[in-house]
Structure 1
Amino acid sequence: MRAAGRRRFREPTIALINIVFLMLVFFMVAGTLAQPLDRSLRLVRTQDLDGRAPPDTLVIHPDGRLSFRGNDVATPETYLATLDETDRAEIRIVPDRDLPAGQLVAIARALQAAGAGRILVVTERGLE
C-alpha cells in the first residue's frame, strides 16, 4: 500500500484577479458617468470681484455696529421697525469675519425677540 501523500491546496488566485478586474471596470465606468466640461469653456473668475453685502441685508461690523443699505442702525429692534411684516419673516444678516461669535448670537437673539422669523447668516464660501 502506498502512503497517503500530502495534498497541496492551490490558492484561488484566478478568482481574486477576476474580482479586482471587475472592481477596476466598475470604477472606470462610474468615474465617467458625469459629462466632462467642454475644453473651450472658460469659467468665471471671482478673484477680482469686490466682496459686497447683498443690498437687503443687515450688516454687522467687527465692532458690533449695525448698518442697513449703507445707513447706521442703532439696535436690532429699530432695524425691524423699518421692515413690513412680510420682510420680517426672513432676515438676512452679514457678519464681519472679525465679529465675536457671542456678539453675533446676542444680535440674532435680539432680532428673534423683536419679532423676526427666520434668520439667515450670509457667509463666504471658499472654494480652494
Structure 2
Amino acid sequence: MRRARATQKREPTIALINIVFLMLVFFMVAGTLAQPLDGDLDLVRTADLEGRAPPDTLVVHADGRLSYRGETQASATAYVATLSEEERKTIRLVPDRELPAQTLVDLTRELRSQGAERVLVVTERGLQ
C-alpha cells in the first residue's frame, strides 16, 4: 500500500488582502488628511487690492531696473553698499513677472558676492 502524499495547507492570503483593503478604504473615508476650513470663514479677496511691494524689499522691474522704496538704484553693488551689516544678512527681492530668469539668477549671485548671506525672492501665492 502506498502512502498518500501529505497535502500542503495553503494560507488564506486572499482573505488577509481583502481585510487590509477594507481597512484602507475605511480609514480613507473616516479620516481626513488636513483640517477643513471653517464653514463660516470667508477668505480675503485679493483681486481688488493694490499690488505693492513690501517696504524693505529690492524691486526688480521687467527691464532689469532696480528700485528700493521708490528710488531707483544704480546697481546691486551700490544697493548693498548702503546697507548695514544686519540688513545684509537677509535681502528680499520682488521680481517682476516678466523678468527673465537668468537676470534674476545673475542678480542674486551679485548680491551674494557683495556680502548678502541670504537672498529671498518674494512672490505672490494664490489659493487654488
Identify whether the pair has TM-score above 0.5, normalized to the shorter chain. Answer: yes
- TM-score normalised by the shorter chain: which range applies? 0.7 to 0.9
TM-score by length of 2: 0.77
TM-score by length of 1: 0.77
Mapping for residues 61-100 of structure 1, pairs under 5 Å: 61-100=61-100
Q: CA deviation at 1:87?
A: 0.3
Q: Distance in 2 between matches of 1:117 and 1:44?
A: 34
Counterpart secondary structure, 2:31: helix
Q: Which residue of 1 aligns with 2:58?
A: 58
Q: CA deviation at 1:101?
A: 1.2
Q: Distance in 2 between matches of 1:74 and 1:19?
A: 65
Q: CA deviation at 1:39?
A: 2.4
Q: Which residue of 1 aligns with 2:125?
A: 125
Residues 49 and 15 (structure 1), Cα distance of their counterparts in 2 relative to 1, 3 Å cut: same
Q: Distance in 2 between matches of 1:13 and 1:107?
A: 61
Gaps spanning 5+ residues in structure 2: where? 1-12
Residue type matched to 1:110 in 2? E
Count of aligned pairs between the two proteins: 117
Q: Distance in 1 between matches of 2:101 and 2:79?
A: 20
Gaps spanning 5+ residues in structure 1: where? 1-11
Q: CA deviation at 1:95?
A: 0.8
